[in-house]
Structure 1
Amino acid sequence: MKQGTDVRVPEDIAEWVFVDPEDNDTVVRLFVDTHHRGDARVQSWVTAVKGLHTVRDITFVSLSDLVRLRDAVRQASQNTAGLTADDLRDVSANQEQVLRLFSLAAELGSSDFHMTIAGYTRIEMRINGDLQVIKDIPREDGYALASTIILSMCDVTEKQFFPNRKQDGRVKAEFLRKVNLFGARYSHTPTVDGLYVVMRTIADDGDNVPSLPALGYLPVQCGVVDNILRRPEGVIILSGPTGSGKSTTLRVFSAMYLGRTGGKKRLLTIEDPPEGRIPGSIQTPIIADKADPEATKLAWVQSISSALRLDPDAMLVGEMRDVNSALTAINAAMTGHQLMTTLHANCPVSILERLVVMGLNPALIADAQLMIGLLSQRLVPTLCPHCSLSWAARQASLDAADRDRLTGLFTADALTALRFHNPAGCSHCCKTVYGTVFGQGIAGRTVIAEVIQPDARFMQIFRERGKAAARQYWVTTLGGITRNQHLLIRIREGRVDPLLAEQVCPLDEDRLTLNATAPTTTDAGEHRHG
């Protein structure tokens, strides 16, 4: 679908109509806002178009459908053409360099790009979780790019560039549209040698939200999540380190909720900043002076409290940051709302422990009717299926410690099924930028997760006997799949290099953390209840 360039649309009706030309540009389809179908200006324009073109049909749609049509055309155009001359019109040379970095980040699938300014400026991008050098530029050019972003490309920031103290900003929508981004945020901090800058990029992929299986969740885990999301009220907390895909997973949960309710329930989000578009929801940012931590904490509490007056059915709170925001969020769930949020914790059971440490009453959080879902996830790199190496091809080049560890953990039959990273890569996974090859041997990343739907007994064990006992009960009685078991499934499928994966989760983690009576075989893992 493309917007015709030879069909002129008057500015006074441009919001109400859309032209979709056929491949030969002589036959067109017209889309008209149904509420303006009787407008004399629209009718006159349609008559004029019919006199110059063959109109295959006229479809009357809602204004929201027209917006989606235009967005689809814009996104398709940018996906195929990258930055165009129109995109770079009226931007400065430094702004253009920043936009080209954004565009490159999207092309390489990078979540962030970094500038380390010292004796020179090194530009790196985080690709599949790892930093890779893009290029080096002069020190002065790095400062020029940083100051350009702060002074002319951000809409929530200070009026001056201060390289000697921390600063944050959010890139203006007018620049984001040029590179097909939903959001981008800037942050810098001074170092002993200069300045460290990080730009987080958020793709505008709200119409292409992945499914849980696409993220890497196992079928049984997907079933547990579905059961949790069917609950009309309660708190769902997702944990994991920075960069573990929590925001994406919450967007998937949101899409599942909105899909099931058919748009008849209101989902309201509170985020700092919004981490991706969620069609059908009302997304609200935290408005506060980000240089003032106390003001930001207060803004979180006030935003959650005021959201309850906006008649939501469910809420997504980007993060529980402190005891006050956690209490306010939990109170929202206690008043009959479903609430999804995130918290930094090592595992699902540690979520409860962390809330206790933050100062919440253990009796409050150890309530299976209130805390309805506890989840944790990590991301591990997946191998290129075209060039990954077999055990026979890789074992000779392994150092003795790695070889002994693998032979001690896997049977002879299991070893033959292992696949390993090929650092040379191949034509399917490699891409060359600025003379540097990226993506060698890595196809992407997949989730390894733990999903707990607590019952009353689980909560009782947590309160009386602690985290380890509650986790043991989850595995042995509720049939929970640990992240270790999840990882071993992916390793035995040949999708994940065991040595790369161990940088995320130890291969023998369950042996170290669970009693010997706990089931640990991956054969049973696909059939458990989570």
Structure 2
Amino acid sequence: MEIINERQDLGYVHVAQQMLEPCLVFFQQWNNPEVVAVVLEDGRLLASPGAWRKHFVELQQIAFAARNVCPVKLFCEGPAAMIREILTDADGQRRALEIQSGVTQYGENLAKQTLSDIVSEALAVDATDIHLRMCGQDARISFRIDGLLCWQGNRSRIFVTEVVAAALNTQSDDCSDVFDERKISSASITLTLPEPYGEVRIRAQKSPCRDGFTVTLRLQKSAQLEVPALAALGFGNETVKQLQMLMQQSIGLILISGPTGHGKTTTLAAMNRLVPATRKVISLEDPIEIVQPAIEQKFVPNTAEHNAFSEMLKVVLREDPDLVEVSEIRDLETATSAVSAALTGHLVASTIHANDAMGIIPRLLDIGLTAVQLSQPDLLAGLIAQRLLPRLCQHCREIDMRLDDGAVWRRNSNGCEHCLHRGVSGRVVISEVLIPGNEACRFIRDQDFHGWREHLRERGWRSLASEAESLVRQGLVSLQDACEVVPNMRIQAFGVSAIKEENYADSI
């Protein structure tokens, strides 16, 4: 018996179309994802170890059934996931032809199993997101690994569309709409995968585009149900002390900024571990991403009501909270309610999309708040910004340039076995914490952000760019990655890594 471990080892060969239906029936009848088989056009019967071990007689029957259409010449064994992928791709191609001729059918069980396979593949390489782009006859699949988008291959658009439809229509926790690829929709999905993954929560976002539609799946492993400590996330001792001091405040507004996928929600959950058990914490979320048993998490549904968060914020203020959290400030109504709560004796924490800590203020002004509102004393307890930078693989990194006091390193384009040939392995966090004092109120009121930045620099404040430069000089991240991810970081003359703080007044 021939052992085949990789799909590429099969060569350019197709599934025998006359035997596709019997192979699908064989897979579905056992209700076991590890029992699967397929007959290839070159006469090979490829089956999983579980199929050969438990259902040898039935496999012989498949070989006998193929004698007149595609005689089986060789028995082969391969991984169940690989065979399922071959089977689903062939089924998708067949279904595409059936749709063109007006005849189609729906394989829900196989679609559900395919979603589990794709998610398992993503988790195996520590991906945080799965990106599906449907265009033409293909579905382009990419994984977000260590902050980088990595193409994984193309599958049948017809079948992957059925996978998405089956997930949203039958496995979603909060999606009530019938699947329509022309509409924008979002949903939460819970999957139970084989060990070592267990239960996985997925946040799905779907939207149409010019030549099809896209789906982004944010993955959250069950391990994230255990809220991490700030030190375990990579924050330094000084930063942990600053964040601990913020969470001990009784009033004010704490805001964490950063792009999507850079750990804002995880950081806020870790900060909650610093809150003593004697304080009541209520968190308003859409969706609930990290389960935190010690706090009251309330799901605020994504409804047509534009002010759902602001209205719910008013409700929870009557429930005697010490700390109120909002998953994200997205609009003027929510921002106004958060400011009002912070000015009426509550500590409020939330996340927001902004360039950096100081950029939170221009972002709030852009939403619709006024400089007078934001400059009120004791309103802003703390402004935080963070980024996750790809960590260079220490086994294959290459010297980019030499400096008098060391060297600047870059990614190895070919990588090595330690980093799965990506050149990076994991990510490292950098952050900046800004605690506005009385002087900050004047700068905010006058919208003098350049002056505020100069004032902070004179007092030794470390920005995101300063933190990134330190990591570049330590050889932990590449200069190119730092410049792509970190705001206000540029290269000075002679190719030496340096930091330049941009004039915020130019961008407002």
Same fold (TM over 0.5): yes
CA separation of 1:464/1:299 partners in 2, compared to 1, >3 Å: closer, same or farther? closer
CA distance in 2: counterparts of 1:95 and 1:182, whole angstroms: 14
- 2:128 is matched with which residue? 111
- Once the 2 structures are TM-superposed, how far is the Cα of residue 311 of structure 1 from its aligned partner? 2.3
- 2:436 is matched with which residue? 454
- 2:470 is matched with which residue? 489
CA separation of 1:206/1:186 partners in 2, compared to 1, >3 Å: closer, same or farther? closer
CA separation of 1:386/1:470 partners in 2, compared to 1, >3 Å: closer, same or farther? same
Deviation per CA, 1:181-212: give whole Å up to 9, x if none: 45312222222222211111222234543333
SS at match of 1:381: strand
- 1:419 is matched with which residue? 409
Q: Given that residues 259 and 353 in structure 2 are in contact (C-alpha distance below 8 angstroms), is that contact kept between their aligned partners in structure 1?
A: yes
CA distance in 2: counterparts of 1:496 and 1:143, whole angstroms: 38
Identity %: 27
CA distance in 2: counterparts of 1:465 and 1:299, whole angstroms: 30
SS at match of 1:488: helix
CA distance in 2: counterparts of 1:418 and 1:116, whole angstroms: 36
- 1:467 is matched with which residue? 449
Q: Note if 1:387 corresponds to 2:396.
A: yes
- 1:428 is matched with which residue? 418
Name the stretch that deviates more: 214-223 or 460-469: 214-223
CA distance in 1: counterparts of 2:346 and 2:433, whole angstroms: 21
- Once the 2 structures are TM-superposed, how far is the Cα of residue 114 of structure 1 from its aligned partner? 1.4
CA distance in 2: counterparts of 1:351 and 1:388, whole angstroms: 35
Q: Note if 1:442 corresponds to 2:432.
A: no
- The amino acid across from 1:126 in the alignment is R
CA separation of 1:180/1:234 partners in 2, compared to 1, >3 Å: closer, same or farther? farther
- The amino acid across from 1:483 in the alignment is L
RMSD: 2.6
Q: Given that residues 371 and 446 in structure 2 are in contact (C-alpha distance below 8 angstroms), is that contact kept between their aligned partners in structure 1?
A: no
Q: Given that residues 301 and 325 in structure 1 are in contact (C-alpha distance below 8 angstroms), is that contact kept between their aligned partners in structure 2?
A: yes
CA separation of 1:502/1:361 partners in 2, compared to 1, >3 Å: closer, same or farther? closer
- Once the 2 structures are TM-superposed, how far is the Cα of residue 359 of structure 1 from its aligned partner? 2.4
Please give the residue correspondences for 1:233-252 in structure 2 after superposition, counting only pairs within 5 Å.
Answer: 233-252=251-270
Q: Note if 1:374 corresponds to 2:355.
A: no
CA separation of 1:214/1:384 partners in 2, compared to 1, >3 Å: closer, same or farther? farther
- 1:511 is matched with which residue? 500
Q: Note if 1:195 corresponds to 2:213.
A: yes
CA distance in 2: counterparts of 1:176 and 1:164, whole angstroms: 33
Larger RCO: Structure 1 or Structure 2 (Cα < 8 Å, ≥ 6 residues apart)?
1
Q: Note if 1:348 corresponds to 2:363.
A: no
- The amino acid across from 1:264 in the alignment is T
CA separation of 1:473/1:180 partners in 2, compared to 1, >3 Å: closer, same or farther? farther
- 2:327 is matched with which residue? 318
- 1:57 is matched with which residue? none
Q: Given that residues 182 and 276 in structure 1 are in contact (C-alpha distance below 8 angstroms), is that contact kept between their aligned partners in structure 2?
A: no
Q: Pick from 267, 270, 282 the counterpart of residue 284 of structure 2.
A: 270
Deviation per CA, 1:319-363: give whole Å up to 9, x if none: 111111111112222222211101111121221222223222322
- 2:173 is matched with which residue? 155
CA separation of 1:301/1:462 partners in 2, compared to 1, >3 Å: closer, same or farther? closer
CA distance in 1: counterparts of 2:433 and 2:344, whole angstroms: 25
CA distance in 1: counterparts of 2:387 and 2:410, whole angstroms: 20
Deviation per CA, 1:364-420: give whole Å up to 9, x if none: 21134121101111221111222222x3xx45xxxxxxxxxxx7xxxx323x33222
CA separation of 1:256/1:205 partners in 2, compared to 1, >3 Å: closer, same or farther? farther
Deviation per CA, 1:468-489: give whole Å up to 9, x if none: 1112212213x31011110111
Deviation per CA, 1:412-454: give whole Å up to 9, x if none: 323x332221232233222xxxxxxxx5221111122221011
- The amino acid across from 1:105 in the alignment is A
Please give the residue correspondences for 1:266-305 in structure 2 after superposition, counting only pairs within 5 Å.
Answer: 266-289=280-303, 292=304, 295=305, 297-305=306-314
Deviation per CA, 1:278-329: give whole Å up to 9, x if none: 231111111243xx3xx1x221112111111222211221111111111111
Instruction: Give structure 1 stretches of 5+ with no counterpart.
Output: 1-81, 83-90, 396-406, 431-438, 516-530
- 1:476 is matched with which residue? 458
CA distance in 2: counterparts of 1:324 and 1:127, whole angstroms: 35
- Once the 2 structures are TM-superposed, how far is the Cα of residue 153 of structure 1 from its aligned partner? 1.3
- The amino acid across from 1:191 in the alignment is C
CA separation of 1:334/1:178 partners in 2, compared to 1, >3 Å: closer, same or farther? farther
CA separation of 1:365/1:115 partners in 2, compared to 1, >3 Å: closer, same or farther? same
Q: Given that residues 286 and 300 in structure 1 are in contact (C-alpha distance below 8 angstroms), is that contact kept between their aligned partners in structure 2?
A: yes
- Once the 2 structures are TM-superposed, how far is the Cα of residue 162 of structure 1 from its aligned partner? 0.9
- 1:16 is matched with which residue? none
CA separation of 1:333/1:181 partners in 2, compared to 1, >3 Å: closer, same or farther? farther
Deviation per CA, 1:67-120: give whole Å up to 9, x if none: xxxxxxxxxxxxxxx9xxxxxxxx811101111222222222212111111221
- 2:110 is matched with which residue? 93
CA distance in 2: counterparts of 1:226 and 1:422, whole angstroms: 38
CA distance in 2: counterparts of 1:511 and 1:102, whole angstroms: 41
SS at match of 2:404: helix
- The amino acid across from 1:221 in the alignment is T
CA separation of 1:194/1:176 partners in 2, compared to 1, >3 Å: closer, same or farther? farther
Q: Given that residues 217 and 448 in structure 1 are in contact (C-alpha distance below 8 angstroms), is that contact kept between their aligned partners in structure 2?
A: yes
CA distance in 2: counterparts of 1:288 and 1:217, whole angstroms: 33
Q: Given that residues 348 and 451 in structure 1 are in contact (C-alpha distance below 8 angstroms), is that contact kept between their aligned partners in structure 2?
A: yes
CA distance in 2: counterparts of 1:184 and 1:249, whole angstroms: 19
CA distance in 2: counterparts of 1:232 and 1:344, whole angstroms: 25
CA separation of 1:175/1:332 partners in 2, compared to 1, >3 Å: closer, same or farther? farther
- 2:22 is matched with which residue? none
CA distance in 2: counterparts of 1:279 and 1:320, whole angstroms: 23
Deviation per CA, 1:465-509: give whole Å up to 9, x if none: 6111112212213x3101111011111111111122211122457
Q: Given that residues 182 and 204 in structure 1 are in contact (C-alpha distance below 8 angstroms), is that contact kept between their aligned partners in structure 2?
A: yes
TM-score (structure 1 length as normaliser):
0.69
CA distance in 2: counterparts of 1:140 and 1:358, whole angstroms: 41
Give the count of matched residue pairs.
Answer: 390
Q: Given that residues 488 and 507 in structure 1 are in contact (C-alpha distance below 8 angstroms), is that contact kept between their aligned partners in structure 2?
A: no
Q: Given that residues 205 and 277 in structure 1 are in contact (C-alpha distance below 8 angstroms), is that contact kept between their aligned partners in structure 2?
A: no
